[in-house]
Structure 1
Amino acid sequence: MRDTSYNEEHDDFNDTRDNTAFWRKERFSMIAASPVRSRWCVCVFIVFAILLLVIIISISLTKMNVDRRISAVEGDVKNLSQSLVTLINKIQQLENHGADVVQSVNRLRLNLNRLQTQAQDVITKVDNIQEAVTHLKCRFNTLQNNNTQQQCCPSDWQLFFSNCYYFSDDGKSWNEARDMCVSMKAELLILKSKEEREFVIKNTMPFFYWLGLSDERTGEWEWLDGTPYQMDRREWKPGQPDNWQLHGLGGGEDCAHFHNDGRYNDDHCSRNYRFVCKSHAYTV
């Protein structure tokens, strides 16, 4: 019995020692693992801190760049504002100057209108004087011819039968020539006879002269007073009138003129040709 209890106690003792050894080994393993885990935590913290520092630095640099660009933009906006103000001031000055110019132009226009009116009055007086001089010359010639009735024309006009004819030296369009004749109390030439036509041709050759013949109003040739023209091809250049439209002036040829040989030709009414005016002679 004793031996048995001894063995049992001995076995219990051995079991207790083995258990102590086991707990020591496990504690040692836990103590040994703690420093490794701590170092890993420190590394993670350091990496995190570095990343945070990099982010902070990047944000700071970005903010500096943004601030620098904003400053540059503000400077540009300020310069642009100054330029805009300067431009507005210049525009205002130009507007003021333009208003002064407009007023000056209006004053000049009024003065020009007055001068034109005065000039027209002078021209009218000169025309009246010329007409009076013509009458005096005509009356003087009448006295020289023993009171025989005389027909007279203004200065620079030619007498043929009972009409006076003016042969211009400068060129005008057909419409301008018509108006010029009217201003001289005459009309652009309307021919009434073969003899009259021959007289005019002698004074127009070899130049081009407008006469009062046109087909612009109705498409048919007529004299300026509305009298229809009786077509005679012998009076026209060969192949005329042809209403040629390739002259580049627009439209056709609606106005007649004397050619260099005295025959008629149709041409664009805007051409600048000499012209013949006709009026009744003075009788004293």
Structure 2
Amino acid sequence: MNQQERVSPGTAAPAEGSSCSRLSPWVFLVSALAVKTALMTVGLVVLFHRSCGQCKTLPQNAPEWHCIPNVPASKKDSWKCCPEGWRPFQESCYYFSGDQMPWDESQQNCSGMGSQLVVINTEAEQDFLYKEIGRQMKYRREGFNLYIGLRAQEVGQWRWADQTPYNETAAFWRPGEPSNIPEEMCVVIHQKAESLQNWNDVPCTTSSYRICETAAVTL
């Protein structure tokens, strides 16, 4: 019995040493995986913060934004973003309303969305609006007019909503317009016109659709 008791501890010790030797590679592997997981977590946190840093540059006045690549792309600003449902063109975003209001209410509605009634500065911009209105004609049966940001405080003294001076060389009146009468002091784009010359002055109390414009956000 005493010999067996002396032998048992001696025979058990090699078995424990062998077990520890077999476990050592597994311990190393688990440790390496833990370190790798930690590094990946740190990387994801960094990317998350970078992403959020960009998202914070988008104003909060729209629930969703639609971004497209800038052309040509620059190193700093590679994306141009507009509120969802707005149409991009150059450095601006345009909203074509689905309801009608008088001119003052139209301007207030645009202002409530962080924009204003459209200010048309170039023939290229007028051409974009003309084509976009033509595209929307497919979805509307009746003829329609759309308010722009041009209005007269006095007969014939036209001024844009953002106080941009009126430029006759960048005006696109229909033939025989403007009427220049006290009853017609606000301007619409006449949808049925078949050319870029489609502005018409109307009473400001007339309910019409509207085009709002705001600056695009670049990221």
TM-score, normalization: structure 1? Answer: 0.46
**1:280 is the counterpart of 2:215:** yes
Q: CA deviation at 1:228?
A: 2.4
- SS of equivalent to 1:177: helix
The structure whose residues are more often strand, as a share, is: 2
Number of residue-to-residue matches in the alignment? 146
- Check 1:232–1:149 CA distance in 2 against 1; reply closer, same or farther (3 A cut): closer
Q: Is the 2:122–2:170 contact (alpha carbons within 8 Å) kept by the matching residues of 1?
A: no
* Distance apart, 1:282 and its partner CA: 1.6
SS of 2:107's partner is helix
Higher helix fraction: Structure 1 or Structure 2? 1
Conservation of the 8 A alpha-carbon contact between 1:151 and 1:282: yes
SS in 2 for 1:203: helix
Cα shift at 1:138:
3.5
Partner of 1:189: 118
Q: Deviations over 1:31-69 (max 9, x none)?
A: xxxxxxxxxxxxxxxxxxxxxxxxxxxxxxxxxxxxxxx
Counterpart among 78, 82, 85 of residue 149 in structure 1: 78
Equivalent pair of 2:123/2:170 in contact (CA under 8 Å): no
Distance apart, 1:243 and its partner CA = 3.4
2:43 aligned partner? none
Provide the secondary structure at the position in 2 that maps to 1:227: coil
Q: Describe the superposition over 1:94-121 as per-residue Cα deviations: whole angstroms up to 9, x where unpaired.
A: xxxxxxxxxxxxxxxxxxxxxxxxxxxx
Go from structure 1 to structure 2 and tell me whether the alpha carbon gap of 1:157 and 1:221 turns closer, same or farther (over 3 Å shift).
same
Q: Does 1:252 align with 2:187?
A: no
User: What code does the residue aligned with 1:183 have?
Assistant: G
Task: Extract unaligned runs of 5+ from structure 1.
Answer: 1-126, 245-250
TM alignment of 1:109-258, pairs within 5 A: 128=60, 130-131=62-63, 133-134=64-65, 138=67, 149-205=78-134, 207-216=144-153, 219-231=156-168, 235-244=172-181, 251-258=182-189
Q: Which residue identity does 1:239 align to in structure 2?
A: G
User: Cα–Cα, structure 1 residues 233 and 227, in superposed 2: closer, same or farther, change >3 Å?
Assistant: closer
The 2-side partners of 1:220 and 1:243 are apart by 9
Give distance in 2, aligned partners of 1:252 and 1:130.
36
SS of structure 2 residue aligned to 1:221: strand
Q: CA deviation at 1:221?
A: 1.0
> Given the two structures, how large is their TM-score scaled by the length of structure 2?
0.58
Match of 2:204 among 222, 246, 269: 269
Kept in 1: contact 2:61–2:114 (CA 8 A)? no
Classify 1:178/1:130 alpha carbon distance in 2 versus 1 (closer, same or farther; 3 Å). Answer: closer
Q: 1:130 to 1:178 in 2, by over 3 A?
A: closer
The answer to whether the 8 Å contact 1:243/1:267 transfers is no
Higher RCO (CA-CA < 8 Å; seq separation 6+): 2
Q: SS state of the match for residue 104, structure 2?
A: helix
How far apart are 1:216 and its partner, in Å?
Answer: 2.2
Quote the Cα distance in structure 2 between the aligned partners of 1:233 and 1:149. Answer: 31
Amino acid at match of 2:166: Y
Deviation at 1:231, TM superposition (A): 2.5
